[in-house]
């Protein structure tokens, strides 16, 4: 068969590079499964990436330039995203309308909200699926352009490593070394495939091996060393302020954003043989500096060395409680623990407890995932003992107030407590006043500049509008107590939560979510210690000690510790944004999109797999027609041979072009005139002296080859035609090969 005309451009060998790039994209997305739970998004994202990269390969095989390939891939991306997510408002199901474009910002907003407040691994909603699949598709287009069109595979490798690192850094965990090794191998393959493609494009006789083999050995050695040596390296210390991948809280009392999370996330569970669950502290704030409370910075000791002595006065009962705490998700270096803890069992890592306030923190460990048993010993005076004690003592900073504290706060505290004769009753009067009809609980009334804080200015504003959330109630109570010369502080932690219905042994399990994130005040009593109060209206349990006689002197009962908050203006957790508007105003749109995603992913994958051989055959045929149009009779004849192979007609090596043409004409419906002309052109091209005949007419060659192909297809059954087009055997079987001589002829 004659050689291709001299000077003709060599075909691009992008097949291995395309496969390597697709595998590299898949490998780079593996860590994403630690952030997003697997599901339809993964199948849809990978199918879309394969579709785009495959389309880029076929377009380049047609020798189309970058100005055509990349815009074409973007058009395919838009059409696919429209068909999957906006088909109900699209033209012809794939052309986005104005309404489709209008939905995109809302979907992105909802997905961003899910990511901001969610707990890894997130469940992929329709909006989150839209964001991920769309981003993966755009990444595939960008990588195709950088690595295969612009021929910069190293830059594409850097991008893939960055994609691999983002979820790995977002959710700190033990690195999956095998996943990273797979990514490294794929990137090396991509670089090698691109290098070989360049060599083959320059010369078919380009040398192979040598430097490439040495580089492969070095790269493989580096990967093996990384996999073996990396686990032996010391683990870096975790930051003391918190840890990624879970719910975070602001221990400086700036809890507005934390409380206004659009979704409730389970954070901690507890169970005990005690009658009621306990408040769980995370941080204690005693110093009031200007307009903010600061977490205490006191001396701490390791929890395994903690052995406090009871400091309560003689005659005051000490109640011991043993409970189990399970931290589901808390991005914090502080453990949620009950007050007056004296011992811990089951805590992993290095943890220290502050003697002054009972806060448990770690410089290297995380609260998330901890399950431990804690024993606490809490003074429980009678009502009479509490009334006899004075709210005096404690640390000096517990009574300090900023110099600019408005006098109106002290005047109001004096007015509210005027009818009380002892410190405990004064504090109960304050508590009842805050929880009474004069105040409302609200997360948004009003959230003005400064009012969302906890300092004296915010408290002054709160006492004017008399509407706010726990931070305002707790801070106002503590500051008013200090104006009465009572030492006070604020605690950040979690309410006891609500019963889950589960039972551990014989104990009921209670669970607190982000909606139960809370702040409350404590006041120090000489001979008793720190006593917690609950001024926040509609939340928690109000402080009350039982009388030692018949209980007639007890304060009026308040809502129980497990009562559900009933704020006046907004719920304790802000409502989640409206459901995904993925299908317009119809009530079933979100449900329909979510439910069809798996089906669409499977269908798209099957269609892609079934169409790949046919698309590849069409690309090869197009290339041969292009060569024939430039005067290559051999290319036109190869079109006929390939068609025969696809239809199951034997193409033996021993048969001359004329004999083969006569057989096609006699047995397989080949048109005589077209066959005679094409056979003659092939014979002249192969055997005649150069210059004996003029150049072959390229258009005539293409026309004759097309006529012969049409005649051969017309002579077989419809199923055989479909099989020949969908699964062309000529892609793997060549004329004159052993398989070509024994083709199973089917009509």
Q: What is the pLDDT of residue 144?
A: 80
Tell me the C-alpha distance between 267 and 682, whole Å.
79
**Residue 221: is its pLDDT beyond 70?**
no
Q: What is the pLDDT of residue 291?
A: 67
Q: What is the pLDDT of residue 583?
A: 34
CB contact at 8 A, 446 and 465 = yes
Q: What is the pLDDT of residue 102?
A: 82
Task: Indicate the pLDDT class of residue 577, thresholds 50, 70 and 90.
Answer: very low
The residues with which 284 forms a beta bridge, in sequence order, are: 491
Tokens representing 189 are: 């393959």
Q: Which helix (H) or strand (E) holds 379?
A: strand 371-380
DSSP secondary structure of 473-502: HHHHHHHHHHHTT--EEEEEEE---EEEEE
Nearest to 645 by CA among 674, 617, 677: 617
Nearest to 198 by CA among 12, 65, 64: 12
Tell me the C-alpha distance between 43 and 602, whole Å.
8
DSSP secondary structure of 89-149: GSBTTTB--HHHHHHHHHHHHHHHHHHHH--SSBP--HHHHHHHHHHHHHHHHHHIIIIII
Q: What is the pLDDT of residue 505?
A: 84
Nearest to 590 by CA among 601, 600, 578, 606: 578
Cα-based distances in Å from 125 to 14, 39, 141, 429: 36, 10, 24, 48
Q: What is the pLDDT of residue 328?
A: 87
Nearest to 96 by CA among 107, 110, 85: 85
pLDDT in tens, 238-274: 333 333 445 666 565 666 666 666 567 888 999 998 7
Cα-based distances in Å from 492 to 138, 407, 433, 509: 43, 27, 22, 22
- E strand map for 154-265: none
Q: What is the pLDDT of residue 115?
A: 63
**Residue 35: is its pLDDT beyond 80?**
no
Tell me the C-alpha distance between 106 and 127, whole Å.
9
Average pLDDT over every residue of 33-45: 74
Tell me the C-alpha distance between 468 and 661, whole Å.
92
Average pLDDT, the chain: 75
Handedness of CA 584, 590, 591, 595 (dihedral sign): positive
Task: Indicate the pLDDT class of residue 665, thresholds 50, 70 and 90.
Answer: confident
**Residue 613: is its pLDDT beyond 60?**
yes
Task: Indicate the pLDDT class of residue 203, thresholds 50, 70 and 90.
Answer: very low
HEC string of 551-620 equals CCCCCCCCCCCCCCCCCCCCCCCCCCCCCCCCCCCCCCHHHHHHHHHHHHHHHHHHHHHHHHHHHHHHHH
Q: What is the pLDDT of residue 655?
A: 85
Q: What is the DSSP letter of 327?
A: E
**Three-class DSSP category at 652:** coil
CB contact at 8 A, 357 and 286 = yes
Tell me the C-alpha distance between 404 and 455, whole Å.
11
Burial of 718 (0-12, 13-18, 19+ CB in 10 A): exposed
Q: What is the pLDDT of residue 7?
A: 38
The 10 Å Cβ neighbour count of residue 529 is 21
pLDDT in tens, 545-576: 888 875 444 444 443 333 334 433 333 333 33
Q: What is the pLDDT of residue 616?
A: 84
CB contact at 8 A, 57 and 49 = no
The residues with which 503 forms a beta bridge, in sequence order, are: 508
Q: What is the pLDDT of residue 684?
A: 82
């Amino acid at each position: 068969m004659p050689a291709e005309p001299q000077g003709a451009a060599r075909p691009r060998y992008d097949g291995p590079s395309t496969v390597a790039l697709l595998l590299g994209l898949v490998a780079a997305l593996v860590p994403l499964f630690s952030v997003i739970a697997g599901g339809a998004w993964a199948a849809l994202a990978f199918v879309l990436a394969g579709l785009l990269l495959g389309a880029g390969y076929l377009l380049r095989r047609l020798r189309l330039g970058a100005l055509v390939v990349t815009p074409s891939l973007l058009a395919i991306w838009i059409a696919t995203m429209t068909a999957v997510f906006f088909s109900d408002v699209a033209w012809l199901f794939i052309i986005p309308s104005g309404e489709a474009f209008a939905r995109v910002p809302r979907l992105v907003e909802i997905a961003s909200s899910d990511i901001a407040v969610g707990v890894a691994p997130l469940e992929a909603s329709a909006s989150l699926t839209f964001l991920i699949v769309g981003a993966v598709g755009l990444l595939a287009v960008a990588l195709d352009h950088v690595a295969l069109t612009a021929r910069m595979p190293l830059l594409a490798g850097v991008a893939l490593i960055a994609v691999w690192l983002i979820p790995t850094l977002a959710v700190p965990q033990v690195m999956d070394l095998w996943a990273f090794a797979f990514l490294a191998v794929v990137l090396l393959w991509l670089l090698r495939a691109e290098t070989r493609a360049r060599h083959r494009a320059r010369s078919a006789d380009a040398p192979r091996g040598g430097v490439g083999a040495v580089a492969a050995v070095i790269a493989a050695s580096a990967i093996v060393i990384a996999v073996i040596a990396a686990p032996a390296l010391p683990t870096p210390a975790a930051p003391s302020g918190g840890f990624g991948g879970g719910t975070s809280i602001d221990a400086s009392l700036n809890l507005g954003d934390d409380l206004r999370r659009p979704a409730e996330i389970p954070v901690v569970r507890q169970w005990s043989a005690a009658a009621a669950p306990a408040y769980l502290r995370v941080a204690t704030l005693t110093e009031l500096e200007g307009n903010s409370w600061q977490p205490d910075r006191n001396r701490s000791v390791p929890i395994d060395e903690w052995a406090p002595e009871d400091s309560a006065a003689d005659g005051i009962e000490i109640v011991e409680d043993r409970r189990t705490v399970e931290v589901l998700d808390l991005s914090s270096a502080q453990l949620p623990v009950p007050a007056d803890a004296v011992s811990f069992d089951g805590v992993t890592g290095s943890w220290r407890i502050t003697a002054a306030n009972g806060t448990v923190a770690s410089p290297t460990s995380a609260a998330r995932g901890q399950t431990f048993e804690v024993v606490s010993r809490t003074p429980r005076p009678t009502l009479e003992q509490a009334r006899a004690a004075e709210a005096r003592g404690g640390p000096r900073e517990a009574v300090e107030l900023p110099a600019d504290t408005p006098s109106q706060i002290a005047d109001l505290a004096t007015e509210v407590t005027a009818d009380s004769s002892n410190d405990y009753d004064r504090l109960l009067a304050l508590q009842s006043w805050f929880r009474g009809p004069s105040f409302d609980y609200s997360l948004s009334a009003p959230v003005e500049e400064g009012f969302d804080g906890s300092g004296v200015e915010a408290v002054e504003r709160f006492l004017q509008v008399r509407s706010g959330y726990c931070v305002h109630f707790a801070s106002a109570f503590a500051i008013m107590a200090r104006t009465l010369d009572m030492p006070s502080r604020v605690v950040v932690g979690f309410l006891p939560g609500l019963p889950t219905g589960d039972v551990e042994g014989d104990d009921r399990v209670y669970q607190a979510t982000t909606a139960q994130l809370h702040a409350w005040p404590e006041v120090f009593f000489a001979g008793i210690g720190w006593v917690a109060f609950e001024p926040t209206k509609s939340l928690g349990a109000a402080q009350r000690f039982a009388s030692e006689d018949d209980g007639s002197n007890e304060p009026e009962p308040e809502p129980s510790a497990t009562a559900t908050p009933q704020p006046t203006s907004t719920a304790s957790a802000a409502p989640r944004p409206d459901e995904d508007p993925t299908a317009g105003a119809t009530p079933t749109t979100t449900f329909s999109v979510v439910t069809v995603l798996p089906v669409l992913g499977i269908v798209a994958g099957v269609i892609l797999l079934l169409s790949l051989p046919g698309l590849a055959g069409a690309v090869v045929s197009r290339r041969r027609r292009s060569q024939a149009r430039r005067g290559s009779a051999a290319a036109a004849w190869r079109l006929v041979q390939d068609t025969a192979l696809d239809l199951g007609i034997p193409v033996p090596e021993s048969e001359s072009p004329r004999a083969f043409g006569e057989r096609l004409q006699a047995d397989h419906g080949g048109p005589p005139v077209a066959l005679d002309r094409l056979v003659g052109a092939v014979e002249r091209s192969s055997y005649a002296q150069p210059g004996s005949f003029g150049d072959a007419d390229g258009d005539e060659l293409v026309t004759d080859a097309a006529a012969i192909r049409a005649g051969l297809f017309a002579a077989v059954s419809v199923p055989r035609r479909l099989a020949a087009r969908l699964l062309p055997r000529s892609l793997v079987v060549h004329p004159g090969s052993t398989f070509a001589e024994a083709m199973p002829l089917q009509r």
